[in-house]
A and B are shown apart, each in its own frame.
Chain A
């Protein structure tokens, strides 16, 4: 068990950061880290290539995060947030909590703007831009296409741009290439 604990100390923070950013909930991030760690303990012996460990553990953690995002409980709690827009399409439509919070707080940093994206858009941004997953990998993990991941990332970045520009108070000075 000591070796597992040493290993846990190495991956706990990256996994917890990933889960916290994707789920925006300390309690759920706790669950993801706990479940990931247990899976590591139970299946580590079946891992043949040590070099594959970081990628494997990331996949395990991402899949658990996505499972939480798909869950009815999570969709329900998201639907109670301001500006919820969950439709018949289920978890993939998600909800974007930005507008009401912007009205409340005004200025916004990148971490906050990211947190206010819909869960799926936020996940795509984090998985692609930070974790380095390809659109094909993200699409596969979400049960969607590569194009889905690309369009989610594009729309998410447009929302981030708008929110950050608004918080800077100089939105009119920002380049708007798509409007020309």
Chain B
């Protein structure tokens, strides 16, 4: 009867099994080969190349580490914030209408062209009004406490960058020679980006509370 893998692993790791097993392995060629193979696998595993994290992760660590830890597991202020965020969420959904759907945090943003409903064009004034409402809602949202996931932080930063880019283009509309249709498309894009941003931040507040 040959040694089992578990017995051979014990021998390999210096945890001597029963003396009879050790004696058998010493005199058995297949068992000695298997013992050497197991030691070889361990050496190969240890020799696997290290995997380096992506550049820039430290920045998100540094930012996240500045967030204060909650003083108690469930402070009363948090309970109030939960209630407030519920009310805010309901108001948000009502204001944004039925097209307001969940953002998948694990996936990159869907191209704007696929998100914009192909309905009749909305007036620029309406889009500007909606944009202002979304800004106001975002300002009114409670501040998130605690650590944010790296992937979520990336998505939020990406959305903020895209909003900033749209703003930059809108501010330079004259210099860029944008047509009214192009400006309208930019305002529409801004509303969609703000919706996504707001929804993501709202979801973060909800996940923090629970």
Give the segment of B45-53, B133-141, B195-203 that binds chain A. Answer: B45-53
CB-defined interface of A26-58 with B at 8 Å, one 1/0 digit per residue? 110111011101100110000000000000000
Judged by a CB distance under 8 angstroms, whether B44 is at the interface is yes
CB-defined interface of A146-175 with B at 8 Å, one 1/0 digit per residue? 000011011101101100000000000001
Return chain A residues, CB-CB under 8 Å to B5: 154-155, 157-158, 177-178
Query: CB distance B147 to A16 under 8 Å?
Result: no
Judged by a CB distance under 8 angstroms, whether A107 is at the interface is no
Return chain A residues, CB-CB under 8 Å to B48: 21, 110-111, 130
Q: How many of chain B's residues have a CB under 8 angstroms from any CB in A?
A: 41
Interface residues on A, range: 35 or more
Query: CB distance A30 to B61 under 8 Å?
Result: no
Contact of B2 among A12, A130, A160, A177 (CB under 8 A): A177
Q: Give the B-binding residues of A (Cβ under 8 A).
A: 1, 4-5, 8-9, 12-14, 16-17, 20-21, 26-27, 29-31, 33-35, 37-38, 41-42, 110-111, 114, 125-126, 128-130, 150-151, 153-155, 157-158, 160-161, 175-178, 180
Beyond contacts A38-B147, A110-B41, A150-B9: 18 other A-B pairs, Cβ-Cβ < 8 A, are: A4-B65, A8-B61, A13-B51, A16-B51, A30-B53, A31-B150, A31-B151, A34-B61, A34-B149, A37-B65, A38-B64, A41-B65, A110-B45, A129-B42, A153-B6, A161-B37, A180-B1, A180-B2
